[in-house]
């Protein structure tokens, strides 16, 4: 059993009392009463030793494995159209208000995630020179906080363009974002958009596997991959826009050096994520977190049950100890 697995299986009380970074554990405690209790214990160490917090306030294994719920889209509650009700103006107005509330919740979550991520990033900067890799290797970062950092950065980069799109399109934004999904923060993606993106990705992945003829590399590292293999991984994981396919040539797409860089970054991310997830992580993930994890690993998820998704992720985890991630991305 690896060191990461041993750290993961320790009791929640261990993390509360001996964590090297108090700010990392407090990120899991979302209720106001919990934050108040954490602050009190830090001010008075004697109380912390004699009065441990209630078990409901301690970070569980599932809370350390799953990403923060605030990094996922908020529930979208659309009004039902009544029989005989015209679309304009009454139903259209109600529909517009529902989407407006959804997008406002998504933007609020981005702001909240940004503030929470700054606490984690501050610790990384002070202790590990801002290096995620060093923090993961030291066991100082949970997968919860790792996903907070990566997803927050993904969303923050897209806020300016999405805000401009929303100001221009207004109530028609849900119709437009389906065509330009890549500019939309994850917290603002509607269910139909996410489902459509996954279906398109699985179609491209299937086409790419049919055309893949190069043999898997014998050595680890993106430097060993041929251009066709780099393009396949890019297609399979959605690392670049399909607009690059129009360049033509035998293997159309981004220049090779850019593809190699993108693939290397994704492999590094997956290796850290696998390590933080641990051997029992698949059993603790929520259904949506399971789907996200598998999509990031180039595995089809549409139409599969939660049990099937867990089986697929467990199979991936078992394989990573024997086969390089690059090879797994080139096989089914």
Cα–Cα distance, 207 to 201 (Å, whole number): 10
Model pLDDT, residue 9: 33
Q: Supply 4's token pair.
A: 């990461």
Tell me the HSE value of 208 on the side-chain side, using a 13 A CA sphere. Answer: 28
Model pLDDT, residue 44: 43
Model pLDDT, residue 58: 58
Question: 10-residue block means of pLDDT along the chain (332 residues)?
Answer: 35 36 36 36 39 54 90 94 87 90 95 96 94 93 96 96 91 85 94 94 94 86 92 93 72 88 96 92 93 97 96 94 92 84
Cα–Cα distance, 121 to 27 (Å, whole number): 12
Model pLDDT, residue 26: 35
Query: How many beta carbons lie within 10 A of that of residue 232, not counting itself?
Result: 26
Model pLDDT, residue 60: 81
Backbone angles phi, psi at 226, to 5 degrees: -80, 165
Helix/strand number for the chain, H first, E second:
17, 0
């Amino acid at each position: 059993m690896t060191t990461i697995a041993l750290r993961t299986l320790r009791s929640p009380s261990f993390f509360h009392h001996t964590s090297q970074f108090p700010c990392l554990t407090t990120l899991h405690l979302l209720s106001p009463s919990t934050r108040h209790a954490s602050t009190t214990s830090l001010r008075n160490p004697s109380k912390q030793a004699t009065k441990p917090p209630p078990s409901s306030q301690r970070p569980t294994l599932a809370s350390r494995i799953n990403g923060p719920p605030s990094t996922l889209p908020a529930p979208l509650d659309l009004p039902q159209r009544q029989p005989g009700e015209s679309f304009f103006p009454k139903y259209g107005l109600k529909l517009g208000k529902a989407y407006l509330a959804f997008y406002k919740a998504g933007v609020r979550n981005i702001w909240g995630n940004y503030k929470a991520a700054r606490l984690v990033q501050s610790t990384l900067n002070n202790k590990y020179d801002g290096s995620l890799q060093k923090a993961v290797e030291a066991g100082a970062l949970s997968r919860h906080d790792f996903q907070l950092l990566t997803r927050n950065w993904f969303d923050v980069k897209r806020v300016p363009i999405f805000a401009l799109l929303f100001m221009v399109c207004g109530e028609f934004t849900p119709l437009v974002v389906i065509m330009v999904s890549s500019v939309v923060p994850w917290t603002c993606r509607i269910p139909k958009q996410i489902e459509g993106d996954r279906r398109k990705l699985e179609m491209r992945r299937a086409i790419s596997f049919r055309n893949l003829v190069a043999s898997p590399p014998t050595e680890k590292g993106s430097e060993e991959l041929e251009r066709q293999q780099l393009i396949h991984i890019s297609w399979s994981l959605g690392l670049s826009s399909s607009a690059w396919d129009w360049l033509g040539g035998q293997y159309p797409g981004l220049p090779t050096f850019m593809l190699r860089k993108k693939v290397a970054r994704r492999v590094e991310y997956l290796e850290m994520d696998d390590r933080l997830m641990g051997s029992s992580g698949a059993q603790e993930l929520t259904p949506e977190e399971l789907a996200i994890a598998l999509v990031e690993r180039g595995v089809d998820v549409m139409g599969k049950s939660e049990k099937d998704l867990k089986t697929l992720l467990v199979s991936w985890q078992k394989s990573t100890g024997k086969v390089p991630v690059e090879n797994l991305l080139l096989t089914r």
